[in-house]
Structure 1
Amino acid sequence: MPKRVMRLRFLVPAFLGASLALLAQSDRSDGIQTHYRKAAESMRRQKLDDAADEFRRMLRLDPNLAEAHANLGVVFYLQRRYPEASAEFEAALKLKPSLVKAEDLLGISEARSGHLERALPLLEKTFGRNGENEFRQAIGLLLIESFKALSQPQKARETIDALRQAYPASPEVLYAAYRTYSDMAGKALSDLVHAEPDSARLHQVAGELLESEGDFPHAVDQYQKALEKDPSLTGVHRALGVALMNSSQDDASMLRAQKEFERELAIDPDDAHSEYQLGEIFWRKHEAAAAEKHYSHAVQLRPNFVDAMVALGKVWTSQDLAQKALDVLKEAVRIDPANEVAHYRLAQAYHKLGQVKESEIELAQFRKLREASASLSVIYQQVQRKLITEQTIESRE
């Protein structure tokens, strides 16, 4: 059984208790009270069939007892007899529209019965009126399932956004977001394949997928095919350059990559990523002044470009401009506190300035972040495509 279905079922007893309490206060018939007590005891002992029999006996004594219909619906719900549960919840609401909890469970039962068009208005109402609690989260996840099943991706995305705002650290919500966005991306890719199977953009996507799998040589082939179709396609010259840098470190590959970044800048002079990549190439060629120029321009074009800021700090520290490096590296850490390389470079700058204590603090933070990220790095690399060659700590360090 899916985890969220179990979660919704386990949350139901709280609704049952409230409904039974209301019944106990509203009807003093000895016969009904006797069946009520027996039903409550059967529910407590999880003897659902016995509880259902007692609720039916209550309804034979008073067919208009809304709470008995509602609680019989709860029993059917817990037994996964969703169509029968829906019928009882509907009967309860006709008699007493104020039974909000019955309306909540009616929406879930309709969804589980496959009646999504009827379920959606009820689920949306439930989602909107419940506070930030576990039940609302579960309803939101069910809403997303229903929207996707009815081919309403925009509504699914809106619900995901609301859930992420309310439950930013929930693994269930984050997985649903990942799955929803992946499905949307897959649908868009399928549409692209059918629209123009040999388009430049399709070759670009193929290159990106190959990159995410670490197959850089074949990614290079796909990017080249994209550019054969459309040499002015924005972003592809840069993507080709990055793939070339990742596929080989020899001088010929670096020269080819450099030309691709320059071509990208000819198409889009404001492309901060290509400026940064040129800085990377010149740094690898030990041409610090040229590297600094390109890193600086990248930061000018994109002020919060953390990798370019870290690269600048690296260059300035190597040039004995540690105070200048310190300023930009502190800003990089402020923007991205989880960037382990930024902390390492900041430690180097502090060390150059003789601030040993501060350097040790940053090194400790670097080690902590590196240890925490080590176990996730393989998974992350598989699902996250890199737009650039990120800052690292060179092997000689």
Structure 2
Amino acid sequence: MDLWVAFRLRRCLILFLSWLAPFAGAQCPAPAAVQSEIHTHPQAKAFTRLGEWFDVHHQYECAAEAYRSALKLAPKSAHLFELLGKSLYALGDLSAAADALQQSIQIQPGVLGPHLEHAQALEQLHRTDEAKLEWEVALQLDPNSAAAMDGMSRHLIAHGDYPQAIALLRAASGDTLHDEKLAVDLAQAYGKSGMLDEAEGVLKKVIGVHPSSFPLTFALTTVLMNRIYFQEAADLAGKFATAHPNDVEAQRLYLRVLITSEDLADAAPLARKLQASHPQDSYFLYANGAMELRAGNYAAAKTDLQHSLVLNPDNSSAHFNLGLVLERLNDNPGAKQQFEEALASGGQEPEIHLELEKVLQALGQSEEAQQQLAIYKDAIDAQSARSLAKAKAVEAEQQLASGNSQKAIELYRAALQETPNDALLNYKLSAALDAVGDTTAERSALERAIQIDPDLALAQNQLGYLDFRSRDSAAAEEHFRQAVRAAPAFTEAWINLAATLGMESKFSEAETAIATALKLDPKNAEALQLRQDLAVARQPK
């Protein structure tokens, strides 16, 4: 045989063996059929099939090696880089996953999947600004992508940008009936904004379509608890738990509701039952310990709570309850330690400071005790103001919904006396004032709202509408621009901006604004009509 040919064959064989080596050992046992294909035709397709087989069997490290071998044969394959990135993500190697997905995007930027997966990896790496850019690109590629809307809305909610999340998800309101994640996202954004009535309405509508959904049941139960509708929450959670007796999370939710609503008669036996069937579950141990404390069984409570904290040392409620137990057992140093642990673990309840004050007094630490008492009193005052404002705001919403706008105004103003720096509450007051036609007071409430929070897009949009109606197009334009800056997915604000720009004969900018609105909501009747009107207005007369 010619020496050169022999050298080439030997080199190919060495290269082939180097590709196959990762799969030859017991750690990556490849199926015989695929191994045979690789031996016979060592091509990228064969290694790709091998990687996909490993992925299906959750052997992600082996899958990654297979895709790397495939990439040696097809180094410009965007699909292979995406598969590699997904396997590395599943493996937990987030940095390498992000790099692989970025390479996939560089090769083929117009494919949606890698942008979604890259954004998820970046979020996990806390590279949130980069993640947001990827979510935006994904929405540009497919404005109707539920995964992109879910990712972007979760990003916005995590960063406190609730108005923009609401605007994005409201534009997809038809999809929320079919996608549980989007419905939960929208309800969460409403809830974080204090719009609990809207959150409840969304969830009740969607849960009617998906009655067996635990995420929807959990979200609606949470909203009902926040609205102090304890009985309705217990009925909902109890019905779901009864229908799904083997669903541990459904049982956990029901128990939480019972404990929070102080329904100890039903909570205590359920806690005992769940602890018996799940003896190493930290929450069930905590719940049973809390029930034993209330029943005066301090020794049993101490045992359960200590066991719970071994399993989950960051449970501030368990620390607090254990502190109460130790206080009852006259172990003041131990109680003091547990109350301090409760605060260090993020406990926000004013009662922690009060109980800590008591044990500090018992230990003769009067100065420290007085400090805790002062913190307690301030927290109680603030909590009382928030609770009163919340109650009045809820009643105001009910009055407004029933057509009693004047009563709603009185209640919103009473709520604002308790929490005057609540931007959303000022906006809600403006809506009630709008209902009675008091434009001057409405504008004042809106201006107060944006003074507190300039990024409250709903208020900026309404101020723009008032200016537009007053024929102050320059001021209207500025408010509408502020609205879309704060909430780029706010379709209504884009339409209003386009209309204002059209009135100012800024037709090119108006067409850009209406194009943005239609990209967000392609079937929006107002936007479609305005686009026609702008086209007519631009025609020479």
TM-score (norm 2): 0.35
